[in-house]
């Protein structure tokens, strides 16, 4: 078992203020596989104080952006050397299939580190603009102390999408990992220390909701970067609004995959299985609404059901596994609750349902619902599990209407033999991220959502800009 007795504050491993602990439980075996201190408000106070000192008095914000980028580059090299270890650790603590952990959970954070290490060497910190009486210098300066509050589903991805640009910008950071997945954050803290990041620039305290809210509302925090549920995002937004504190919110999704009649279904389903069921369906960008024309509806239902049925369910550490367990017992109960709701609403489970596929572990049967309308709860609410709904549309305009008929606007895809036509569809769907015949999150392109899917953007130059304040300096002559 991985036992940690300290928290990472001020560049050192220090004793926590309280005596409480967080047990990390394997979703596959239901056994305790790790234990870390349960951070308290006092721990958050110490972490913010350390980050505040590092920002107000330390060298980090006063280094050039290129100098900070070089440190982030060293962190990337260390991360690369421990990438396999990181992938295995995430699979252990939250049940992500090891193939997905090796393909995305560990490599994508590394790609972000490398991207921002490179961007930091060329990003303009100052520029000159013409003014009325003389030139104006427009300067970009770090926003300050950042609270990075992250969920459990893709823990390193959501940490790094915040940490990498914040570091290059010159900010200092307090990371609060989710109680379900603190172990990967501890491994990251070891790497941060080895990379020579100055003391207090990065602090890691695992904690629950109360200590997390204390961190978010702390007067020493200048910006909150949050990924999680829309309900929690609204609460954080209200706190930040009261305090006029900057915030970036990446929230929920209920994305639609539009299957056009000209697509080749056998070739589509291989890519669609990743787009819709990545990470056991526990992904905010999952393409969980499958839109099919009435002419090909039965064919699409059969193809999607066959796709899901071909994905082995079982031990996430086994490379043959396609779908592993859900992160916690409460998450299994939530997803099973939605399967019951779907049945009660009149949707037909063509595969899956309420029979559990494994005697041990927090598994649910991957489920495909047919006979779904976009008004049903299973089509409108984020389930966050391996549950797909297949919804019929009348024509292309109707498909776009259904895709847009959602409280969310995070992601989406279209599947077609005509890429240019797919690009036209993409322009008409109101989401922040879209794919034509695939779904990808690119480090160099902004990531975020419309509507209830969030506020602000991460990744790309836009992600770096969100950790910078703009200062205008006018002068005479």
Q: Check 180, 250, 382, 458 and give the catalytic one.
A: 250
Q: Check 171, 247, 263, 284 and give the catalytic one.
A: 284
Long-range CB contacts (within 8 A, 24+) of 436-439: 437/268, 437/271, 437/413, 438/271, 438/275, 438/413, 439/271, 439/274, 439/275, 439/285, 439/287, 439/411, 439/413
User: CB-based contacts of 216: which residues, under 8 Å, 6+ apart?
Assistant: 147, 149, 224, 226, 236, 239, 240
Q: Could you give the C-alpha distances from 409 to 254, 404, 447, in angstroms and in order? A: 7, 8, 12
229 neighbors 261 (Cβ within 8 angstroms):
no
* Active-site residue flag, 118: no
User: CB-based contacts of 373: which residues, under 8 Å, 6+ apart?
Assistant: 379, 391
Residue 106 host element (H or E): none
The neighbour count for residue 29, using CB atoms within 10 Å, is 13
Query: What one-character DSSP code corresponds to residue 203?
Result: E
* Active-site residue flag, 263: no
User: CB-based contacts of 62: which residues, under 8 Å, 6+ apart?
Assistant: none
What are the tokens at 277? 């069921």
- CA–centroid distance for 97 within its chain: 17
- CA–centroid distance for 257 within its chain: 19
Tokens 């990371």 found at:
175
Query: Phi and psi at residue 95, in whole multiples of 5°?
Result: 85, 10
Secondary structure (3-state) at 392: strand
- List residues with catalytic annotation: 250, 284
């Amino acid at each position: 078992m991985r036992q940690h007795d300290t928290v990472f504050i001020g560049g050192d491993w220090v004793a926590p203020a309280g005596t409480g602990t967080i047990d990390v439980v394997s979703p596959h075996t239901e056994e305790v596989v790790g234990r870390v201190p349960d951070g308290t408000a006092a721990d958050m106070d110490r972490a913010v104080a350390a980050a505040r000192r590092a920002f107000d008095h330390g060298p980090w914000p006063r280094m050039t952006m290129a100098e900070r980028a070089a440190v982030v580059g060293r962190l990337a090299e260390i991360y690369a050397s421990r990438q396999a270890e990181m992938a295995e650790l995430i699979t252990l603590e939250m049940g992500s299939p090891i193939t997905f952990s090796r393909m995305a959970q560990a490599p994508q954070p590394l790609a972000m580190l490398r991207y921002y290490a490179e961007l930091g060497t060329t990003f303009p910190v100052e520029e000159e603009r013409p003014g009325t009486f003389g030139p104006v210098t427009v300067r970009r300066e770090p926003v300050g102390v950042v609270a990075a509050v992250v969920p459990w589903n893709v823990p390193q991805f959501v940490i790094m999408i915040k940490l990498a640009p914040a570091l290059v910008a010159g900010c200092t950071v307090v990371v609060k990992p989710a109680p379900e997945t603190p172990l990967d954050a501890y491994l990251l803290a070891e790497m941060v220390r080895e990379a020579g990041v100055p003391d207090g620039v990065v602090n890691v305290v695992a904690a629950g909701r109360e200590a997390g809210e204390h961190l978010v509302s702390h007067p020493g925090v200048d910006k909150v970067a949050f990924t999680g549920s829309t309900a929690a995002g609204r609460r954080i937004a209200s706190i930040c609004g009261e305090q006029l504190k900057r915030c970036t919110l990446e929230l929920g999704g209920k994305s639609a995959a539009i299957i056009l009649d000209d697509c080749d279904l056998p070739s589509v389903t291989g890519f669609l299985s990743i787009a819709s069921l990545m990470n056991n369906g526990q992904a905010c960008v999952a393409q969980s609404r499958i839109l099919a024309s009435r002419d090909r509806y039965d064919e699409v239902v059969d193809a999607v059901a066959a796709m899901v049925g071909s994905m082995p369910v079982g031990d996430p550490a086994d490379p043959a596994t396609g779908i592993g367990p859900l992160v916690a017992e409460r998450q299994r109960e939530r997803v099973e609750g939605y399967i019951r709701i779907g049945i009660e609403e009149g949707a037909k489970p063509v595969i899956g349902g309420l029979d559990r596929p494994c005697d041990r572990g927090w598994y649910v049967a991957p489920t495909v619902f047919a006979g779904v309308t976009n008004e049903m709860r299973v089509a409108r609410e984020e389930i966050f599990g391996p549950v797909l709904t297949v919804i019929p549309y009348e024509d292309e305009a109707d498909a776009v209407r259904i895709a847009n008929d959602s409280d969310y606007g995070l992601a989406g895809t279209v599947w077609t033999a005509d890429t240019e036509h797919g690009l036209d569809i993409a322009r008409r769907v109101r989401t922040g991220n879209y794919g034509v015949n695939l779904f990808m999150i690119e480090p160099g392109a902004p990531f975020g959502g419309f509507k209830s899917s969030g506020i602000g953007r991460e990744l790309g130059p836009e992600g770096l800009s969100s950790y910078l304040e703009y200062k205008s300096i006018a002068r005479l002559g």
